[in-house]
């Protein structure tokens, strides 16, 4: 029989090093020692080296776990690291937009408790790369706030910090005055449905309701099902749900959280138009109950429909903020004039293009000069190009060429519209300008 003393000489120095730094290896070596010993446990210090290694390494690894998992400690370490490296995320950025400055000033002069969500100078660095650069905004009750930006603009990073998935390098965020590092209650609907497919809708709702500590679970679930219009399918397995039904369940789970803030990441992505409209109606009803909504979406139509205010992000910076109408009025670079005529022909189209060019400076025709009854022009925005003034010019044009039968060689205008740039055009214009810097 092989004794422990004989086996000890077979231990390679590399193995000795491994079992000192690896508690699992140390444990396995302890088992080997016991199995190779002729007298089991006759010596209480038979495994003294392994036991000492397990004790020390266990304490070290527990300390590391506490450091990694502790939000407070991790935040302080990030701050110390940032200060030592003297990194200023805004060092290469241009001066802030006036609306962004106004929002920052509003946060400075207002306490966190007066906002449902208050974000102050939120910054996230990945090495030398700033994913977020001193993001600042506040959301009040009954407000839907939209975050728009291209991929990599910082939307996902913002959501990760607010939901506790990641730590901010600097700055702070509070929900009803409670720092997000303390884990306040937040209703969250992720971009991809994180729900167990082998359960029914009712089972998932009941599970989350109990995890949230709700007392009258049945009543609450009944209210949620009525709100998301899913009573008929609630007892089906979720794997048999359509995409729209799964999104409604995800929104319902967010509503189960007893919170004044709901965060929605692309809530209608991949949803058919009918279901999308139902979800919009649901979110508008949620706002009427005084619940604030933080929304990200690639759909400009969705943001215009739901959001009371919108913020544009680009490279981690907020480059614009305000209502949809404010952003279009301030950053819209042109107007769109559409004229409907009753006698379309190539000759009439060319004549009308000449008339519009004389009436509106630098007007550019957007359609081919073909025999179309609806023609469009882009009218650049100028200092004196007030919407009302341009509309009166278009109205005078329509009154002048109103379809007199005797003017066979002139266009007969039966209708016209003058509109601002769409929100999507404003966003593309702002993003394009930022990319140039």
Closest CA to 260 of 293, 303, 302: 293
> In DSSP terms, which residues pair with 334 in a beta bridge?
380
What's the rounded Cα separation, in Å, for the pair 330 and 163? Answer: 33
Q: Summarize the confidence of residues 194-198 as an average pLDDT.
A: 87
- Asked which of 69-73, 151-155, 314-318 is least confident by mean pLDDT, the reply is 69-73
**Class level of CATH domain 334-420:** alpha beta
- pLDDT tens digit sequence for 200-231: 999 999 999 998 888 888 888 988 888 788 88
What's the rounded Cα separation, in Å, for the pair 307 and 144? Answer: 5
Q: Which residue has the tokens 């959280």?
A: 257
- pLDDT tens digit sequence for 89-99: 444 445 788 99
The pairing of beta strand 364-365 with beta strand 374-380 = antiparallel
Contacts for 104 with CB less than 8 Å, ≥ 6 apart? 96, 136
Q: Summarize the confidence of residues 319-342 as an average pLDDT.
A: 86
Token digits of residue 249 = 């369940």
Q: Summarize the confidence of residues 253-267 as an average pLDDT.
A: 88
Q: Please classify residue 136 by burial: count the beta carbons closer than 10 Å to its beta carbon, then call 0-12 exposed, 13-18 middle and 19+ buried.
A: buried
What's the rounded Cα separation, in Å, for the pair 408 and 403? Answer: 9
H helix runs in 70-175, sequence order: 71-85, 98-108, 155-162
Q: What per-residue confidence (pLDDT) applies to 89?
A: 47
Q: What per-residue confidence (pLDDT) applies to 185?
A: 85
pTM of the complete model: 0.72
120-to-87, 124, 132, 221, 397 alpha-carbon distances in Å: 18, 12, 12, 35, 51
In the three-class reduction of DSSP (H, G, I as helix; E, B as strand; rest coil), residue 336 is classed as strand
The pairing of beta strand 413-420 with beta strand 334-341 = antiparallel
> In DSSP terms, which residues pair with 145 in a beta bridge?
294, 309
Closest CA to 188 of 312, 268, 295, 309: 295
Q: What per-residue confidence (pLDDT) applies to 406?
A: 60
Instruction: Write out the H or E segment, with its range, that includes residue 292.
Output: strand 292-296
> In DSSP terms, which residues pair with 177 in a beta bridge?
none
Question: Is the model's pLDDT at 44 over the cut of 70?
Answer: no
Q: Select the more confidently predicted residue: 250 or 435.
A: 250
Burial 71-97 (b: 16+ CB within 10 A, else e): eeebbeebeeebeeeebebeeebeebb
Q: What per-residue confidence (pLDDT) applies to 309?
A: 95
Token digits of residue 184 = 């306040």
Taking the C-alpha atoms of 421, 418, 280 and 233 in order, what is their torsion angle to the nearest 10 degrees?
Answer: -110
Question: Is the model's pLDDT at 295 over the cut of 60?
Answer: yes
Question: Is the model's pLDDT at 2 over the cut of 50?
Answer: no
Closest CA to 250 of 238, 261, 260: 238
Instruction: Write out the H or E segment, with its range, that includes residue 350.
Output: helix 346-359
Mean pLDDT, the chain, whole residue set: 81
Question: Is the model's pLDDT at 28 over the cut of 70?
Answer: yes
Taking the C-alpha atoms of 210, 212, 213 and 215 in order, what is their torsion angle to the nearest 10 degrees?
Answer: -70
Q: Please classify residue 41 by burial: count the beta carbons closer than 10 Å to its beta carbon, then call 0-12 exposed, 13-18 middle and 19+ buried.
A: exposed
Q: What per-residue confidence (pLDDT) applies to 83?
A: 64
Q: What per-residue confidence (pLDDT) applies to 92?
A: 47
- pLDDT tens digit sequence for 362-418: 888 887 766 678 888 888 877 665 777 888 888 888 888 886 656 667 888 888 888
Q: What per-residue confidence (pLDDT) applies to 119?
A: 94
Q: Select the more confidently predicted residue: 70 or 171.
A: 171
**Confidence class for position 75, pLDDT limits 50, 70, 90:** low
CA 297, 138, 144, 320 torsion: positive or negative? negative
What's the rounded Cα separation, in Å, for the pair 93 and 435? Answer: 12
Question: Is the model's pLDDT at 42 over the cut of 70?
Answer: no
* DSSP secondary structure letter of residue 166: S
Which of 46-50, 56-60, 262-266: highest mean pLDDT?
262-266
Question: Is the model's pLDDT at 269 over the cut of 80?
Answer: no
Q: Summarize the confidence of residues 340-367 as an average pLDDT.
A: 85
* Domain locations along the chain: 4-69, 334-420
């Amino acid at each position: 029989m092989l004794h422990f003393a004989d086996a000890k000489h077979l231990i390679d120095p590399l193995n000795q090093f491994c079992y000192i730094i690896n508690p699992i290896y140390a444990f396995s070596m302890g088992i080997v020692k016991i199995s190779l010993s002729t007298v089991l446990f006759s010596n209480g210090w038979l495994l003294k080296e392994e036991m000492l290694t397990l004790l020390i390494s266990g304490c070290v690894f527990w300390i590391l776990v506490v450091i990694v998992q502790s939000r407070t400690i991790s935040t302080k370490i990030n701050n110390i690291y940032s200060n030592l490296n003297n990194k200023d995320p805004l060092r290469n950025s241009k001066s802030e937009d006036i609306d962004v400055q106004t929002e920052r000033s509003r946060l400075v002069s207002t306490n966190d408790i007066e906002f449902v969500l208050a974000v102050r100078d939120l910054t996230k660095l990945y090495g030398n790369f700033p994913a977020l650069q001193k993001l600042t905004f506040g959301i009040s009750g009954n407000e839907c706030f939209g975050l728009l930006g291209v991929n990599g603009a910082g939307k996902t990073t913002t959501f990760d910090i607010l939901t506790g998935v990641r730590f901010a390098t600097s700055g702070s965020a509070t929900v009803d005055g409670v720092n997000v590092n303390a884990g306040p209650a937040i209703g969250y609907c992720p971009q991809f449905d994180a729900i167990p497919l082998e359960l029914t809708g009712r089972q998932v709702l009941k599970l989350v309701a109990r995890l949230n500590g709700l007392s009258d679970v049945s009543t609450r679930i009944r209210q949620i099902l009525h709100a998301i219009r899913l009573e008929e399918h609630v007892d089906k397995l979720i794997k048999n749900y359509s995409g729209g039904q799964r999104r409604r369940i995800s929104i319902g789970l967010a509503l189960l959280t007893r919170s004044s803030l709901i965060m929605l990441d692309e809530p209608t992505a991949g949803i058919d138009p009918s279901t999308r409209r139902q979800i919009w109606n649901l979110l508008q009803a949620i706002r009427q109950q005084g619940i604030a909504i933080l929304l990200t979406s690639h759909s400009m139509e969705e943001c215009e429909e739901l959001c009371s205010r919108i913020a544009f992000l680009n490279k981690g910076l907020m480059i614009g903020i305000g209502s949809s109408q404010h952003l279009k009025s301030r950053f819209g670079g042109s107007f769109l004039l559409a004229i409907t005529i009753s006698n379309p022909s190539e000759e009439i189209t060319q004549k009308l293009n000449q008339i519009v060019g004389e009436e509106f400076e630098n007007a550019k025709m957007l359609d081919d000069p073909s025999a179309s009854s609806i023609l469009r022009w882009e009218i650049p925005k100028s200092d004196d190009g007030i919407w009302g003034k341009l509309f009166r010019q278009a109205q005078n044009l329509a009154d002048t060429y109103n379809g007199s039968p005797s003017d066979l060689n002139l266009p007969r205008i039966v209708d016209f519209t003058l509109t601002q740039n769409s929100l999507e055009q404003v966003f593309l214009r702002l993003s394009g300008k930022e990319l140039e810097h």
